[in-house]
Structure 1
Amino acid sequence: MNPARAERDLDESIRIHAAPDRVWSLLIDPRTMTQASPELFATTRRRRGPLRAGETFVGWNRNGLALWPTVNTVTAFDIGREIAWHTRSSGAVWTYTLTADADGTVLRERRRLPDGASATARLFARVLLGGIERHTDELSEHVSATLAWIKSAAESAPGDDRPE
């Protein structure tokens, strides 16, 4: 295993022809990630409605036959600009940043492991996901798929909400 490759940051951006408010509304709707993510299929929360600062939620993930929960806390919430959450079990911080431009919005998704992957994440990946390096490669593909789904959903919204 190559630790640098396995624990590398994931960082990708996509240009969306929709106003930042439209993209933001998708990002704070918990249903978006369950529809957009190839791995996350459900969330459990104490409340309904959009995500909010400081909220903790459980994400339910599936990859092949492996099924597992993650506990996540929203750590950054700058309305219309950025949302991030920390996943306790893996040590990952997932961040979505929106930047308005002349054509709409640039959406950036990042996954960082500030302290490296947790021992739990490394063991789980080795036993059930074919190794952490393989799972990181899959997550990289998932980031692309998630951004593409959000782009499609934002651009197919009724009406034209692109900035003029």
Structure 2
Amino acid sequence: MTIEAKTLEATIDIAAAPEQVWPLVADLPGMASRSPQVVRSFQRGDGDVGTTTLNINRSGWKVWPTRSKVIRADAPREFAFRVKDNKTIWSYSLEALPDGGTRVTHRRAAPDGLAPVSARLQDLMMGGLERFDEELLSGMNATLRTIKADAER
């Protein structure tokens, strides 16, 4: 049994070429400095498809691990990984803009539904699926703002 989860999406325009933005979105260990939820990521592999990570996440006093695997790495267009623990797919799509900048879309999808144990934990520990989705979306926007600031330096 799986639980339906809505797709979350955030977008930002960055005044830097996709080739400059790509290293920031594809740097999983570096996400600890860009995402308000990621504390640390331990990467095994070179960042291409098949690379795995062990991630430590935090929300307030709650800390939990997740495991992920890179499923798409099409530089400088798309980077995606699947979180094994809850079956979600997190991705970044980069679109070149006519002015030389990049539109970055950050997405969380659950095409196969959310793992029941993850849904139950979100309900018990995170204030419910809807509230946690709001927190995730807020974090996605914060991550994009940090990527933008880093890319535009």
**Cα drift, residue 150 of structure 1:** 0.4
Aligned partner of 2:144: which letter?
L
2:105 counterpart SS class: strand
What is the distance in 2 between the residues matched to 1:24 and 1:105?
Answer: 10
1:150 corresponds to: 147
Q: In structure 1, which of residues 125, 136, 139 is the aligned counterpart of residue 133 of structure 2? A: 136
1:65-115 deviation per Cα after TM superposition (whole angstroms, max 9, x unaligned) = 111111100001111110100001111100101111123111111110112
| Aligned match of 1:20 | 18
Q: How far did 1:46 drift?
A: 2.8
Alignment map for 1:108-147 (pairs within 5 Å): 108-147=105-144
Instruction: Name the structure 2 match of 1:89.
Output: 85
Q: Quick one: distance in 1 between partners of 2:117 and 2:87?
A: 10
Q: Which amino acid aligns with 2:33?
A: Q
TM-score calculated relative to the size of structure 2? 0.92
**Aligned structure 1 segments of 4 or more residues deviating by more than 4 angstroms:** none
The answer to whether residue 51 in structure 2 is matched with residue 69 in structure 1 is no
Match of 1:161 in 2: none
Provide the alpha-carbon RMSD of the alignment.
Answer: 1.5
**Fraction of identical pairs, as percent:** 35
Q: Distance in 2 between matches of 1:12 and 1:130?
A: 22
Consecutive unaligned residues in structure 2, runs of 5 or more: none
Deviations 1:107-144 (A, max 9, x none): 11111011221111111112221112111110011111
- The aligned length equals 150
Identify the match of residue 52 of structure 2 among 38, 48, 56: 56
Bigger CA radius of gyration: 1
- SS of alignment partner, residue 142 of structure 1: helix
1-side partners of 2:67 and 2:79: how far apart? Answer: 16
SS in 1 for 2:44: coil
SS in 2 for 1:33: helix
- Aligned partner of 1:101 in structure 2 is 97
Question: Aligned match of 1:37 in 22, 32, 35?
Answer: 35
- Distance in 1 of aligned mates of 2:80 and 2:27: 13
Q: Distance in 1 between matches of 2:134 and 2:28?
A: 24
